[in-house]
Structure 1
């Protein structure tokens, strides 16, 4: 293990974590002790600008006072009832999320992966009961480079070999096509096709933005063939790309939308699947559930998280700051940079070399970001970040990328 912090207490924490924990992550060696807004502090008191936002789970900034207030107030009243009984916070959350996202019905879950699994079950049930697909023959079209979570079913249709290796037998029922190719989607459709599942921007794949018009073309294909369009907006939704949903950039309305990450405001895991009343009504009592999904604490936090995004106009802020950040990055004209892509405050800087050393160098200068797919640095600061914060980070990014 590389030790980059000389504080004996911090080094001890690193050793304990590596000795006792599973080694399924390779984090940068910085131990975060507290956080506020766009900034975090390590156990030595060093301050860092957070340019990852917990993979877009902290769009509203760390420890937003309104979200923390909702959390603490609700935690002193009732936190968990299960769905065996009703609670007094769920209806208000339902009203807020359906109104702001313009959908008729919602089913709450906890994590993003659970929400994707929920959407898959909903699509399959729709295929059998509405489309008339023979029982147990439904297929869902997915994309090369996809990342929808780590459950056994979700890794089954990943194009990453490591995600699947030694985790079989894999779940059938998925057909993978090239990302960004509406013609390939149409060619893959059969009478057994239930839906297309996609990310409007592929974050884990390296912040891959599809060709302009792809989402609209996919919507047209789904309409022509009478199949569902399911958007995984777990990472791209709730303001991250400069719109409430990344699909809004092409004025496309999916049949099903999956939310997570920022829905919990960075303080509590909350996810949800949104759809029409007609489609959601296919679920009957006993078809699906979760002990924690829709609990009063989650509902209170999610409602506050959505209100912060709306009241502080954070999607528009992400659009403005994202344009500024991308413009400044392009102006660097570094020979190390192969490509800069993204929307809003979800930006990938692809390098001609491995990105990990540059992320480590930025960490040493007080900027936290993370590599994805080996050669891409992902920059995704909280939407409450200021232009002054970005200027501060850009000075250090320029220093690292220009050597």
Structure 2
């Protein structure tokens, strides 16, 4: 028995099966590559699902968390730390938030969504409008906003008052935002639905509709934020100012952290002392990691790099003319390679055998969310191998 299979057997004997059976047991990573316990190397084009924005073992992150771990890993929120304050200030800066904006730190994207739900309740209204195809998390409040029936139905009844409307449908959104709606919660690009982008004016229309109705516009940047789309946040491409955003994934580079960012004094005043909290939220270790991530992304010009390498991937796939590959969609380095038949799982399995990690996010789409440091040559190595993987999936 291989070391990989032995550890997977121990996994199945000891962990709840909520993730199914993992395909690999990863031993270590370096840059854009990971190695399994059998010593096989893979180009990681998923990046922990848009988490490892600086890849694996980046010296800036390693240095920051090592230094902080030697000083203080955790303090209670009876106190604060310089790292926590500095990270909040940096987040507000890269978000372009106006005076009076604030940050709440949690440990995950789902926690950030839960904070956003409580923020919306403080308006005095209870209705929430989300989108079909949306994924906002698996805690019970976040699950009410998530659209996929298979995720929701085993745990119903969930939070009442949530309505889902077709994504990128301005008329449906306008019709749904009634006087009882506290908030509209949207992703600027739907990652879990298959990397779907709305029309350029969709978020602008959502801003106009919510403003007119007196409802909050909350943008879920958990997967799209921290440079993933070629801007710090996906909403910035639309030139709007939301009332709040949720952030996680790439913010800590793998150290658990999430955040709710509220825009402006009025919205920031909705949650007051004692109305929300988190034991580990924004602790010194996570905050130090977040600071290292933001500083390094800025210093290395990785927003521009994400935009240019994402465009390079799109052009390379088009130029390759691969049978049964219909194109590339998405933005920056959150992309889906689309297929003309539902064989993505088989293609992803063939790619893994060939040394590449991609995600079959939908039956006819492969999601790529590689580290923002990925090179054009590394992406080209996958594109060059892709015809073999597709052919293998079709003949298996």
Alpha-carbon distance in 2 for matches of 1:241, 1:76: 34
User: Are 1:250 and 2:238 counterparts?
Assistant: yes
Given that residues 59 and 262 in structure 1 are in contact (C-alpha distance below 8 angstroms), is that contact kept between their aligned partners in structure 2? yes
Given that residues 251 and 293 in structure 2 are in contact (C-alpha distance below 8 angstroms), is that contact kept between their aligned partners in structure 1? yes
User: Are 1:32 and 2:26 counterparts?
Assistant: yes
Alpha-carbon distance in 1 for matches of 2:143, 2:371: 28
| Cα deviation, residue 27, structure 1 | 5.2
Given that residues 353 and 375 in structure 1 are in contact (C-alpha distance below 8 angstroms), is that contact kept between their aligned partners in structure 2? yes
Q: Show the counterpart of 1:179.
A: 167
Alpha-carbon distance in 1 for matches of 2:152, 2:90: 38
Q: Show the counterpart of 1:261.
A: 249
Which residues in structure 2 correspond to 1:160-239 (within 5 Å)?
A: 160-239=148-227
- Name the SS of the counterpart of 2:71 in structure 1: coil
Q: Show the counterpart of 1:283.
A: 271
- Name the SS of the counterpart of 1:194 in structure 2: strand
User: Are 1:356 and 2:345 counterparts?
Assistant: yes
Q: Show the counterpart of 1:3.
A: none
| Cα deviation, residue 72, structure 1 | 0.8
| Cα deviation, residue 153, structure 1 | 1.8
Alpha-carbon distance in 1 for matches of 2:190, 2:237: 15
Given that residues 317 and 327 in structure 2 are in contact (C-alpha distance below 8 angstroms), is that contact kept between their aligned partners in structure 1? no
Given that residues 348 and 357 in structure 2 are in contact (C-alpha distance below 8 angstroms), is that contact kept between their aligned partners in structure 1? yes
Output the aligned Cα RMSD.
1.5
Which residues in structure 2 correspond to 1:350-389 (within 5 Å)?
A: 350-351=338-339, 352-389=341-378
Given that residues 183 and 216 in structure 2 are in contact (C-alpha distance below 8 angstroms), is that contact kept between their aligned partners in structure 1? yes
Moved more, 91-100 or 332-341: 332-341
- Name the SS of the counterpart of 2:34 in structure 1: strand
- TM norm structure 2: 0.94
Which residues of structure 1 form unaligned runs of 5+? Answer: 1-6
Q: Show the counterpart of 2:325.
A: 337
| Cα deviation, residue 202, structure 1 | 0.5
- Name the SS of the counterpart of 1:10 in structure 2: helix
Q: 1:114 aligns with which of 108, 111, 115?
A: 111
Q: Show the counterpart of 2:386.
A: 397
- TM norm structure 1: 0.92
Alpha-carbon distance in 2 for matches of 1:61, 1:198: 27
Q: Show the counterpart of 1:8.
A: 2
Moved more, 26-35 or 163-172: 26-35
Alpha-carbon distance in 2 for matches of 1:235, 1:157: 16
Given that residues 336 and 353 in structure 1 are in contact (C-alpha distance below 8 angstroms), is that contact kept between their aligned partners in structure 2? no
Q: 2:297 aligns with which of 291, 306, 309?
A: 309
Given that residues 12 and 21 in structure 2 are in contact (C-alpha distance below 8 angstroms), is that contact kept between their aligned partners in structure 1? no
Given that residues 136 and 145 in structure 2 are in contact (C-alpha distance below 8 angstroms), is that contact kept between their aligned partners in structure 1? no
Which residues of structure 2 form unaligned runs of 5+? Answer: none
Residues paired across the two proteins, number:
387
Q: Show the counterpart of 1:55.
A: 49
- Name the SS of the counterpart of 1:353 in structure 2: coil
- Name the SS of the counterpart of 2:18 in structure 1: coil
